[in-house]
Chain A
Amino acid sequence: MRQLKELLLQQCLRDREDKTFLKPLPPSSCRRTIEEFAVLVPDPVQKLRFLNRVLERYRKTLSIYKLSPPFQETVVRKLAMDEVERLCPGARKKVRKLIRQGTISAPRPTPWNIYKYRHSIITIVMAALVLGLGTGIASFRNIISPTPSVTQEPADEYAEEVYGLAKSPDEQYGDARDEGNTKVANVSPQPGGKEAAYAPESTDSSFPEYIEESIWLVEESSDRELYSNGLRITTTFTVENEPRIYYRFPIGSDRLPTEADLSSKIVGILYHASESDIIDFIPEKNQSLKKYSKALFKYVCRNKFYHYFINRFGQVFRAVREDHAAFHAGNSVWADDENIYLNLNHAFIGICFEGKAFEEVKSEPGGPKLTAMKTSTINEAQLTSGRELTDWLRVKYRICQGNCVTHGLVSINPEAKLIGYHVDLAQGFPFHRFGLKDKSRSLLPTITEFGFSHDSYFLKIFKGHIWPGIAYSEERLRRRAEIANIPLAEYRMQLNRRFTRWFEWQKKQKEDQSKDHDQICAMAD
């Protein structure tokens, strides 16, 4: 009993020492940096972790890195950046943005660069030393016969530690290839494996965010437009709908949008497949192909379904004028680094390819009525026109590649909180042919921001071969729940609730807008 009491007393004293007063604090300029980065950590517990980890790691940093204030600040910046990224994956992007906005002070260039490339510098210096030493020893051996041994410099523990942590992922909705995600990277991206329609792309690194070259209008007549990249658009049947106007939901915030978030800007492109009946693409069926295509386009225009329609011969038709919304996206969600977009009719341009990637099947009751086809019917002519149209739209509206996505990846069932309500072009779409990163490997905001999931019916449609982005997003969701110290199911529920709140709010805004519109029309009458 007495021993226990003594042990407890000792533990109390030890704790007291741990907690208070003994930790040396970094200088004031470094503190400012820590505080600036702390803004990015919203949760109090996480913020506490962030501060303690940064201070602890700063304390353990070798004194050599703390010799002068600029270096101290640089070290703290690096530590803060690492920790904020660890606690809030994807924060690096935000940091860069905040630096541009001036909220976070910019790093001092010289010390930052030296610190950033310290491993290379250390390696070069060590290599030079070893080389010099080796040369010296060799020369020495030439003079004196005994052979001295060469000892290696001790490794810099801190450098190793930081080096290990420096391999942080680049996390955004355009790219989900990070450490955690590699665990699930063996999920097949293609339905039907090797028989899938398009060859998988080898790398995403060659796709710039924006197209900088100009594409201009070469010729324009009453029914045609010709552009410098070869794009030809038939404009004869263009119809009007309702002008674009929509709310952007700021990412990383729970607040509802304000008037400042109202926009009419085109921010993305959504690709669709008509999923209509398909006639064999052979010369003998030429008349039928033309006739069917014409009828389909008329139907599209009548219902104002898409902005552009590309038939099987690769001809591009404008259906709904670009500055108006088209009814193409339905209930859908996508996000970029700044905003979440709910129901994309107003924010995105809809391009429809006449074609089919799914076929109807007869199955037992409750089973799927659709299944993915082994090969898509979208052909080379359509791909070429699609690329031209995409390039021109991206240049005209400065659309980033991250916001060019297919309908199947964004469509949702808002009541059941399920993804994949529509599945057109959900898999196997050749993004690389459009100069775009493969979005089937990207994080899905429907899952990461709103906690949506998929059901067994969805799995059956794809015969279990769901695209990797789903697994990445689920993994990200799990990690965020872990960081927030909340069970995954509860975290998902919280996100679901946020979606419902936003969705209902947007619906109400839309209804109010319609009422106002009706009243104005009535007054005009």
Chain B
Amino acid sequence: MARRRQEKAGHRKKEIAAAASKILAHESLSRGSSEKSARLDTNPVGVDIGTSKIVFAQKKHGNVAFTSQLNAFISVEYSKFTESILNQNRINHYRMDESLIVYGDGAEVFANMLNTETGRPMRHGLLNPKESKAIEIIKGILDDIVAPAAKRGTQLCFSIPGAHKEAESDIIYHEAILRRHLSNKGYNARSINEGLAVIFSELEKDNFTGIGISAGGGMCNVCLAFLSVPVITFSIRKGGDYIDDAVASVTGEVNTRVRAIKERELDLTEEPRNDIEDALHIYYDDLIVTLVKGLKESLAQTSKIPDFDKPVPIVLSGGAAKPEGFEHRFEMYLNKEDFPIEISEIRTASDPLYATAKGALIAAMFEG
């Protein structure tokens, strides 16, 4: 019996060590050569604080450099061995009572190894009220990704979701918490709407006139801007996570596997090959229809729409907009609606995962 327990413990240790080395390899890949110390400069900073990822952007030697961390965590049982492995491999974690909270990119690797789900400190684009550790974890990830400002008052812009009828006060709280934390790091922190950030990043040639849509993990943020001035912003509380949850629920699969299929294999231009893909197609359609209808209703309700004398473009970004064919489906559903303004083109951002962070950086440079 004792021997079996020893074997089991030994197996667990091997699993943890393997996960740690995998995370280290992943992190060194995603960070490239940029070290924290290298980020200690006075250039303005853009941060996209999304439900599933936090992306940092800063201009280096004329190019924009990005660093990202998964906005997730996992709780593992405390043991000295596990803690030392995490320390040795510099995996972000902290101890809480008899648990170790692993957060950032490491969390997902651990979740896959241990065949469990990661927790999310944010939900629907805002701090997750059901998660007691949310603020601590977000701060931890931000501390890892955003070095303290080398010069007090360095400009920083971070993304926030658009207004939502049900969550106006939550947005204010979410924004205030993040602003305070980033201000404490020495930055002059200002927020920017996610949709507007997409416009700043992608619609420069259109003089920042058009519709920017950031379809992220927690929600879809939309902004219509005219000459960089936001005219309408709104959000819908459906995003990549909604699709994962719904598909997992109807197919009986775990979210992690659904997400893996969605990110690696899904092609919305092709017929679904199995139940999971079929469900993904259905929920993607649902998301797109909600988005198009929401956009149409918002435009119809507002009296402030400027007199556009030429058609405006729509740009799609965010992780949920990445699958092949998203743009095509969006266009198809948009064409079915009688849209109040004329659209010149619909296109996907050059780098959908980093468009918001880049837009936030442009806003920071503009403010700075």
Contacts and interface: CB of A to CB of B under 8 A. Distances in A.
Interface stretch (B99-107, B200-208, B261-269, B329-337): B200-208
Contacts of B233: 20
B366 A45 contact: yes
Contact of A55 (B176, B227, B365): B227
Contact of A486 (B62, B175, B362): B62
A44 interface: yes
A291 interface: no
B299 to A, nearest CB: 14
A485 B365 CA distance: 8
Interface string B186-207: 0000111100000010001001
Interface in A160-197: none
B44 to A, nearest CB: 8
A44 B362 contact: yes
B145 to A, nearest CB: 22
Interface in A218-234: none
Interface stretch (B73-81, B129-137, B303-311, B348-356): B303-311
Given A21-B304, A486-B62, A44 B176 contact: no
B325 interface: no
B61 interface: yes
Contacts of A31: 226-227, 306, 309
A48 B306 CA distance: 19
Interface string B109-122: 00000000000000
B156 to A, nearest CB: 13
Contacts of A15: 190-191
Provide the main secondary structure of the chain B interface: mixed
A299 B365 CA distance: 59
B175 A51 contact: no
Interface residues of A, number: 32
Contact of A48 (B62, B179, B180, B208): B208
A21 B362 CA distance: 20
A260 B129 CA distance: 63
Interface string B88-103: 0000000000000000
A515 to B, nearest CB: 35
B231 interface: yes
B368 A55 contact: no
B206 to A, nearest CB: 9
A25 interface: yes
B309 A21 contact: no
B228 interface: yes
Interface string B204-219: 1001110000000000
Interface of B: 61-62, 172, 175-176, 179-180, 190-193, 200, 204, 207-209, 226-231, 233, 304, 306-307, 309, 362-363, 365-366, 368
Interface of A: 4-5, 8-9, 11-13, 15, 19-21, 23, 25, 27-28, 31-32, 34-35, 38, 44-45, 47-49, 51-52, 55, 485-486, 490, 494
